[in-house]
Structure 1
């Protein structure tokens, strides 16, 4: 079997991360493709100097940008690895992946890898954040990124997926909290739109990961998100924080874990709810006006 791999990395002003990311891929990936959203720093020059092919494409959302890489960037490899610029491969993940792909059977079209988040320099090992498995590698022509505004996953068109348990794909952003909160403010707007489109059945259901409580990690997350959407505004952030920080042991990750769960598990979720409430109130709680706004802004 062909075990050649092309990595797709989406960038915009990622000079702080791109070298670390590509270095972790160089002994693993046969092609490194950067799809850049017109960076104004030297991201593209750094990527090219390390052997990456750089393409430029205007940003709409993550899904459309990633799928531009899948379909428009002349990938020659058999497999595609989804990795963000602020992520890198740790341990033996790359080597084990190459060996796994070389011997996997023909109906295997995807591979789950273990992901770890480092926040403020500390690995988050509790609160349900680790270990967490994500479908990151898939066979070209047998999958792409589902078309959503937030929480988009790789979906397979056919075949099955296996799991690699060696090493980690580490998400370790080096920017400060000012950058983080500004970024998540933008995420909250997209999350608001995504949740409302799910609530009003406006999302592209044919392209969704099928929600299942006892399915894959993506299917379970989608099932839980649907349940979350049906929960009362402003109550659900408290519930989310309590479950992750207290019941799932997030407090064991020290001060960094406390900051993470306050910001990610509570503040961010409360901001999303506030934006949902704001839009519904501005539209006079009229479902058709809300749908019209979403169609004009996000479809």
Structure 2
């Protein structure tokens, strides 16, 4: 149980927490367990779970809805619409609000915040049981808004993946950590990267990015250096090296897939010369 806040001279601002799910039975209890003592309203929007996720969430007190998948931003905006209160905190099922962040959120709501502002959270990824440093640069981290007033903020519908919230006011950082704890194996993490790459390439093309071979040599090493040196992954020992290389590989995969989409030749059938053994 979290410590009680001091009495406020203003009416308490009520908060809804909204969570998107699909087959999250292994982690949804952990996510909800960190919320139910202090959140005024918890909404779970499920997109076709077959593993009991909805039943678990309902048994823990969440309001559960079903919605066929609309895409990342559209699904999140639909979840926000289902909230009872205008201030909403958006989470994924594999995220956990730590006690310090929970208190900071409650204090922010008790202060009757400006509805034009949004609050950004410090999300940290788990890798082989270790909590890694935040890998975003300062500008990207301040764009990681998860707590906002829905009359003024929304998930950007133009972002197909790695979506962000748009607010007209300030982006205010909150103390505490949002734990992103998945306990993936390397294979599972690689499958996640592969599952994201198609939308990432489409997003890059919409932004006018061009694929080229030189980017495959430049961007992955720079990404590794950012993660391992600038962000402090070197402090995590061997896991820091492996994690930095995985992130660099994901960077290579994005740019290689963009090159493929824009420049790689499409040859659906082998030339006759090769079939006849004369093409070498």
TM-score in same-fold range (> 0.5): yes
* 2:43 aligned to which of 17, 33, 43: 33
Query: Structure 1: which 5+ residue stretches go unaligned?
Result: 201-227, 285-299
Alignment length (residue pairs): 252
Measured in 1, the distance between the counterparts of 2:90 and 2:32 equals: 12
Partner residue, 1:3: 13
Partner residue, 2:249: 267
TM-score between both structures, scaled by the size of structure 1:
0.76
* 1:197 aligned to which of 174, 188, 206: 206
Partner residue, 1:215: none
Query: Structure 2: which 5+ residue stretches go unaligned?
Result: 1-10, 267-280
How far off its partner does 1:78 sit?
Answer: 3.0
Question: Would you tell me which structure has more helix in proportion to its own residues?
Answer: 1
Q: 1:114, 1:164 within 8 Å by CA — same for their partners in 2?
A: yes
How far off its partner does 1:172 sit?
Answer: 0.7
Look at both structures and tell me which one has the larger radius of gyration over its CA atoms. 2
Q: 1:127, 1:250 within 8 Å by CA — same for their partners in 2?
A: no
Measured in 2, the distance between the counterparts of 1:104 and 1:230 equals: 50
Q: Cα RMSD (Å) of the superposition? A: 2.5
Measured in 2, the distance between the counterparts of 1:84 and 1:269 equals: 23
Measured in 2, the distance between the counterparts of 1:34 and 1:97 equals: 19
Any idea what SS the aligned residue of 2:121 has?
strand
Partner residue, 2:166: 155
* 1:115 aligned to which of 113, 123, 126: 123
Change (3 A) 1:86 1:35: same
TM-score between both structures, scaled by the size of structure 2:
0.81
Change (3 A) 1:90 1:179: same
Any idea what SS the aligned residue of 1:6 has?
strand
Counterparts of residues 16-55 of structure 1 (less than 5 Å): 16-55=26-65
Q: Does 1:243 align with 2:198?
A: no
Q: 1:127, 1:249 within 8 Å by CA — same for their partners in 2?
A: no
Measured in 2, the distance between the counterparts of 1:111 and 1:7 equals: 14
